[in-house]
């Protein structure tokens, strides 16, 4: 009778088992799973996920990161950030399967060292006053409240606060996707900081609040909601959409096979996700996992940034969407 440790197990072992029940441990020992005898299904009718809708609040995070700043500076940490993880199993990093977000804070006089990595990143600036900027491949980009700045994969990037006030923003990255694809490369800058070669008035890597407003003004107004997709050809995994809602306006209730986050740039309201309601103010973020019906309802005039993995799903031909009836 075969056992897991039977040295005779090898080609031809099937000759000596007397039943399927005896065959299963042999198959398992040889690292085969019989397709008809899986512990878990591999196909299902429509998307489901262990990730749950989840909210993080700027006021709370700001208090906590300010406390961390008593001990952690940019000397000790490449970045002083608080990652917003979704408590799924032993996950302590990803907000959604393909995306992670983090609150990051830079104190006056601090410089976050330059590095580059295959994951794409972007930032939504929440609070920044004078002399705060990001440098991307030598190009200096101002960081002002409401700005969206891109640092596409493998671009050198570093952050500077030469002013007198703390600066805070939300980072969004596709690191969890890269973890799954195992295509991570990372490199610290050999000189820690990059030379600033130019300071352009406009850049394809920066969407200022005013740039967003100009784009929104030319978008159709659908029952008090204007939406515009930011053109980000340098980042092929992440879609960025800015929504502007008049007070009391609401976006249509819909779902699709992308995962997304909503961050409140200005204003406030509530995000309904699968029957849950999340009250959101400036700087708050809600993660909406795949295939969850969701709808934002504005209390006041509100601008939102939506960050999603939709390009990945579309590129691979997996994208579907539905509007609630
Ligand atoms: Fe980075």
Say how many Å lie between the CA of residue 117 and the centre of ligand 1.
7
Residue of 252, 229, 235, 292 lying closest to 51 (CA atoms): 292
Confidence of residue 3 (pLDDT cuts 50, 70, 90): very low
Tell me if residue 66 falls in helix, strand or coil: helix
Confidence of residue 79 (pLDDT cuts 50, 70, 90): confident
* Rounded Cα–Cα distance for residues 131 and 290 (Å): 39
> Percentage of the chain with pLDDT > 70?
94
Residue that terminates a domain, selected from 206, 229, 247: 206
Is the overall model pTM greater than 0.85, yes or no?
A: yes
Asked if residue 270 lies in contact with residue 279, where contact means CB atoms within 8 angstroms, the answer is yes
How many structural domains are present in the chain? 3
Confidence of residue 197 (pLDDT cuts 50, 70, 90): confident
317 and 215 co-located in one domain: yes
Say how many Å lie between the CA of residue 250 and the centre of ligand 1.
35
* Rounded Cα–Cα distance for residues 272 and 278 (Å): 6
Say how many Å lie between the CA of residue 14 and the centre of ligand 1.
53
Residue that terminates a domain, selected from 168, 190, 206: 206
How does pLDDT run across 212-228, given as a tens digit for each residue?
Answer: 999 999 999 999 999 99
For the cut 80, the answer to whether the pLDDT of residue 229 exceeds it is yes
- The residue segments making up the domain with residue 286 are 210-323
Residue of 112, 133, 101, 79 lying closest to 283 (CA atoms): 101
125 and 219 co-located in one domain: no
Say how many Å lie between the CA of residue 157 and the centre of ligand 1.
7
Say how many Å lie between the CA of residue 56 and the centre of ligand 1.
21
Say how many Å lie between the CA of residue 311 and the centre of ligand 1.
21
80 and 171 co-located in one domain: yes
Say how many Å lie between the CA of residue 278 and the centre of ligand 1.
29
Is position 8 within any domain?
yes
Asked if residue 119 lies in contact with residue 101, where contact means CB atoms within 8 angstroms, the answer is no
- What is the CATH classification number for the domain harbouring 313? 2.60.120.10
For the cut 50, the answer to whether the pLDDT of residue 49 exceeds it is yes
Average pLDDT of the chain is 93
How does pLDDT run across 297-306, given as a tens digit for each residue?
Answer: 999 999 999 9
Say how many Å lie between the CA of residue 16 and the centre of ligand 1.
57
Say how many Å lie between the CA of residue 116 and the centre of ligand 1.
6
Distances (CA, A) of 192 to 32, 66, 74, 317: 49, 25, 12, 41
């Amino acid at each position: 009778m075969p056992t897991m440790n039977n040295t005779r197990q090898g080609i031809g072992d099937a000759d000596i088992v007397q039943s399927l029940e005896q065959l299963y441990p042999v198959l398992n020992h040889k690292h085969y799973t019989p397709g008809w005898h899986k512990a878990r299904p591999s196909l299902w009718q429509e998307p489901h996920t262990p990730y749950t809708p989840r909210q993080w609040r700027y006021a709370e995070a700001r208090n906590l990161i300010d406390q961390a700043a008593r001990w952690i500076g940019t000397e000790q940490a490449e970045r002083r950030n608080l990652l917003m993880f979704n408590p799924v199993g032993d996950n302590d990093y990803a907000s959604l399967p393909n995306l992670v977000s983090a609150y990051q804070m830079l104190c006056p006089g601090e410089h976050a060292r330059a590095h580059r990595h295959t994951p794409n990143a972007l930032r939504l600036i929440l609070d920044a006053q004078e002399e705060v900027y990001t440098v991307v491949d030598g190009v200096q980009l101002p960081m002002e409240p409401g700005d969206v700045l891109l640092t596409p994969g493998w671009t050198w990037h570093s952050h500077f606060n030469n002013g007198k006030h703390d600066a805070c923003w939300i980072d969004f990255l596709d690191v969890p996707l890269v973890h799954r694809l195992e295509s991570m490369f990372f490199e610290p800058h050999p000189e820690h900081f990059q030379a600033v070669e130019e300071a352009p008035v406009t850049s394809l890597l920066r969407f200022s609040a005013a740039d967003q407003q100009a784009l929104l003004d030319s978008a159709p107004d659908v029952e008090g909601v204007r939406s515009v997709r930011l053109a980000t050809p340098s980042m092929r995994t992440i879609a960025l959409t800015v929504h502007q809602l008049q007070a009391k306006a609401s976006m249509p209730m819909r779902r699709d096979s992308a995962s997304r986050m909503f961050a409140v740039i200005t204003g406030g309201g509530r995000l309904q996700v699968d029957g849950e309601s999340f009250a959101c103010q400036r700087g708050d973020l809600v993660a909406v996992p795949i295939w969850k019906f969701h709808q934002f309802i504005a209390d006041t005039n509100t601008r939102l940034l939506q960050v999603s993995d939709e390009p990945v799903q579309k590129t691979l031909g997996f994208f579907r969407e539905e509007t609630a009836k």
